[in-house]
Structure formats: structure tokens, C-alpha cells
Amino acid sequence: MKQILVLFSLFILLTSGKKPEIKMGTIDLFNKQITIKVPASFELMDEGRMKKVYHAEAQPKIAYSNIEKTIRIGFGAQSISSKEAGIPALTIRFEQLLKKLHPKAKWKDQGVQIINGHKVGFIEYINKKPTKFYELLFFASFKGQLLSCTFHAPKKKHKPWKKIAHEMMQSLTIKK
């Protein structure tokens, strides 16, 4: 009986504790004009791997992933004639486009925040088809370009990662 109590206590101790904290590191992007936090354990994806996991039209310039390649962070910059004042309108347009592309998605949040002095638009949703995934897309104006970041995680593993995705977004720094 004593062994059963010890095993039960050990089980409760191991399963009730907090999940290990994910350590963040800071990376520089686009000639050190952008800094952002990403999970320190994530690896830079090579171009071959990016071609396998991203559609050609949506392939980022730079991407990071966990070791299993199930959680991905893609960064891109496209020339666009939008200034920072246009971010709210772009947020609405992107949301409308995504709703057409993913009509069965569950929309979590969207909006514009001021982060480190810059307007940052964001859209957050859970897609249901063809596979279930969580995605946070955020973007900002950067030297005549639209800087974008897409955080992608499987739906069943997204809850702890949602906090990380938002921490990344809040850490975005654009040098002037």
C-alpha cells in the first residue's frame, strides 16, 4: 500500500507541475534592420525544406522551425505602396482574403497594435481544413515594404505556442 501511495504521489508531482518554459533568443533580419524574439531552440530552415512546407506563392524569405518541423515561423518582405497609415486597411483586406481561402476557419482575433512605436496588424485563426492548425499572421510597414511574419503550429499543440507567438509579435523592433 505504501508503494502505491508513493507512486501515486510521484505521478501527481510529475503531471501537475508547470510545463518547462520555452527560452527565447533574439534574431536580426533584413540587414539587422529588424529584431525579433524566436524560440532559441528553433533552427533556420534551408531553401529545400521551405519549398516542401510552403506553397510557392507563400514561401517566406526566411523561416525557422522546431526540430520536428511542425511549428514554423516565416518572415517575408514584399514591395508594396503602403505606408504605416495603411496597416488598418490592410488588416481588414487580409482578413477578408483569408476568410475566402479558409471559409471553415475559426477566427480568434484581428486588429492593429502599436508595438515599439510601429503599427502592427495581426490576424489570428484556427484552420480546420485540409489540416487543423493555429496561425498568427502579423505585419508592419518597413522601408516601402510590407514586413510579414506567420507563426504556424498544429492545432492540437497550439495552446502553449499561442503565448510564444504573441510574445514574438510584441518583441518586433523595426529600426528607423
pLDDT tens track, the chain, 176 positions: 444 433 344 344 444 444 547 899 999 998 899 999 999 999 999 888 888 888 777 789 999 999 888 899 999 988 877 688 889 999 999 999 989 988 888 999 999 999 999 999 999 999 887 778 999 999 999 888 899 999 999 988 788 899 999 999 999 999 87
Ordered domains of the chain (ranges, CATH) = 22-174 (3.40.1000.10)
| Whole-number Å distance between alpha carbons of 134 and 138 | 13
**3 state SS of 56:** helix
Output the CA angle 144-147-150, nearest 5 degrees. 160
- Whole-prediction pTM: 0.83
